[in-house]
Amino acid sequence: MPDSSTIPEEVTDFDTLLDAASDRIEAETATLRERNRRLESLLTEKTALVQSLETTWKTAQHRRKRIDAEIARLLQAA
């Protein structure tokens, strides 16, 4: 390994720049990973909510039909 006094300053500056860029990329990657985890969590929550709403809607439609049929039956009897 060469003595640090024989390494040109430009090379040392470039290495420093690369190290700083690498650190910044690592930090940005960590941030993006955390955002991705949060987005995946929200998507899972949204999907569960949609499924719950669809089930509730189907139940409400069934109840409405049953009530309408009961009303029609009572009106025919009157």
pLDDT tier, 1 (very low <50, low <70, confident <90, very high otherwise): low
Report how far residue 10's alpha carbon sits from residue 12's, in angstroms, rounded to the nearest whole number: 5
Average pLDDT over residues 58-71: 98
The token pair that represents 10 in the structure block: 């430009």
What are the extents of the domains in the chain?
7-77
d(CA 57, CA 59): 5
pLDDT at residue 11, rounded to an integer? 86
Q: How high does pLDDT run on average in the chain?
A: 93
